[in-house]
Amino acid sequence: MALKFVNEVELQGKSVIARFDFNVPFKKTRGPSGERVISDPTRIESSLETIKYLLDQGVKTIILMSHLGRPKGKASKDLSLEPVGKYLANSLDTDVILTESCLDLNIKTLLDLNTSRIILLENLRFHPEEEENDFEFARRLASYGDIYLNDAFGAAHRKHASTHAINHYFKNNSVGGFLLKKEIMALEKVTEKPKGPFMAILGGAKVSDKIQIIEKLLPLVERLLIGGAMAYPFLKAQGHSIGKSLCSDEDIKLAEKILGGPQKQKVTLPQDHIVSEQLDGAPEVSDSLDIEDNKIGLDIGERTISLFKNELKKANTIFWNGPMGLFENKSFSKGTFEIASALSESEGFTLIGGGDSVAAVKEAKLESLISHISTGGGASLEFIEKGSLPGIQALKFGITL
């Protein structure tokens, strides 16, 4: 069964219940009236193409739904979708009515009155049933629309009521949005016959979180470059000293497994480091593979940057996830920004899988030079690992009780 997208169905006069991922980050400081201020609206911006298309096609009403943060099943003023509603209203230059709760009894009346074409349901996760994938909760959400639309790529790896169970109530009336389509197409360029040489570059802090993706990527890639704190368990497993760098015994075991496996020659590790005695200490060059006992490895060194950049120059497809060091601290950010610039200079297909690497590319203002930046960190990693996601499978094949 093929996945149907929003441009393949009749929408005129229909009510569409649409799941987006409006889980945006907020600034630490509040606005003049004490309101929360969105720090990065990318996820809302990415939804606009689908919403505008629905309006242009003459839908009767769009009922928007999303989660925001982790309210753990309880209503919380701080995690209200109100700032999202305001942002949408400004961007679309139309009214957006925010409901008191996604189960508000007035929603049906609001739909009948037809005073606004856009209704935003309050944070789904104010109700524990959302994360419990509850069918009765999903049935109530489903009752608002004739058509179900899912464009929440960043939440598609979760089996939640609004992404999973709800599909049960829309047998032939469920569609994917334009963002979902873009994300799937970009990820399939990496998972299905990537144009070689294909190289992946992984960084960040924990091997255990990314072990499955390493195992999935290794047979597909020509080379796997590992930087950031992820590299230390591998260096340790090879018998090098890593000083006080971030590393757990569990991660060393996982690294030993990979380095003992048939694809071990594809793994490229750092050859030098930027170290310090403390996380906020002065940076020092450590020009060898081994790190002194009292030092912490906090970035890749110059030779490693050159080595990684030379490898990436040969690639026709590049997948990147995870920073090369403690990049939030300027003293240890060079490796990460150099990799961001290597991707921006590549003529191949470049895909960044969410998270901190996206923050680095944005800070360097290089977004427009990357082929695809995924809006979902966890979702893109899981897609590569498994070839699809529960939310996408449910949209494709439906759900039975």
Least distance from ligand AMP to the Cβ atom of residue 323, Å: 5
151 is a contact residue toward ligand AMP (CB under 6 A): no
Among 24, 190, 229, 305, binds ligand AMP (CB under 6 A): 229
Distance CA 360, CA 241 (A): 29
233 is a contact residue toward ligand AMP (CB under 6 A): no
Least distance from ligand AMP to the Cβ atom of residue 358, Å: 11
Choice among 204, 335, 355, 391 that is catalytic: 355
5 is a contact residue toward ligand AMP (CB under 6 A): no
Mapped onto helix, strand or coil, the DSSP state of residue 321 is strand
Nearest to 100 by CA among 116, 122, 83: 122
Give every CB contact of residue 94 below 8 A, 6+ residues apart in sequence: 55, 116, 117, 118
Distance CA 62, CA 181 (A): 19
Sign of the alpha-carbon dihedral angle for 198, 205, 352, 131: positive
Nearest to 310 by CA among 277, 337, 342, 356: 342
Number of residues near ligand AMP (by CB under 6 A): 18
Least distance from ligand AMP to the Cβ atom of residue 328, Å: 5
Distance CA 296, CA 190 (A): 34
Least distance from ligand AMP to the Cβ atom of residue 226, Å: 11
Choice among 86, 206, 303, 386 that is catalytic: 206
The answer to whether the beta carbons of residues 216 and 385 sit under 8 Å apart is yes
DSSP structure string for 69-97: S--TTS--GGG-SHHHHHHHHHHHTS--E
Position of minimal CB gap to ligand AMP: 204
Q: Which is nearer to ligand AMP, 16 or 326 (CB)?
A: 326
328 is a contact residue toward ligand AMP (CB under 6 A): yes
Q: x/- string (CB under 6 A) for ligand AMP, residues 245-264?
A: -x------------------
Torsion of CA 31, 36, 37, 41, to 10 degrees: -170
Site for ligand AMP in 278-317 (CB under 6 A): 297-298
Q: Which is nearer to ligand AMP, 11 or 300 (CB)?
A: 300
Please say if 43 is a catalytic residue.
yes
Least distance from ligand AMP to the Cβ atom of residue 26, Å: 18
The answer to whether the beta carbons of residues 24 and 46 sit under 8 Å apart is no
Contact region with ligand AMP (CB under 6 A), list: 123-131, 158-166, 318-326, 340-348: 318-326
Distance CA 153, CA 90 (A): 23
Please say if 378 is a catalytic residue.
yes
Contact region with ligand AMP (CB under 6 A), list: 96-104, 205-213, 248-256, 260-268: 205-213
89 is a contact residue toward ligand AMP (CB under 6 A): no
DSSP β-ladder status, 317-321 and 198-202: parallel
The answer to whether the beta carbons of residues 95 and 149 sit under 8 Å apart is no
Choice among 19, 43, 181, 223 that is catalytic: 43
Distances (CA, A) of 24 to 11, 111, 263, 285, 360: 28, 27, 38, 37, 17
Choice among 69, 196, 281, 378 that is catalytic: 378
234 is a contact residue toward ligand AMP (CB under 6 A): no
| CB-count burial class (<10 Å; 0-12, 13-18, 19+) for 294 | exposed
Least distance from ligand AMP to the Cβ atom of residue 344, Å: 20
356 is a contact residue toward ligand AMP (CB under 6 A): yes
Among 228, 233, 270, 390, binds ligand AMP (CB under 6 A): 228
337 is a contact residue toward ligand AMP (CB under 6 A): no
Beta bridge partners of 274: 285, 299
Least distance from ligand AMP to the Cβ atom of residue 361, Å: 14
391 is a contact residue toward ligand AMP (CB under 6 A): no
Amino acid at the residue 160: H
Binding site for ligand AMP (CB under 6 A): 203-206, 209, 228-229, 246, 297-298, 322-323, 325-328, 355-356
Residues tagged active-site: 43, 206, 355, 378
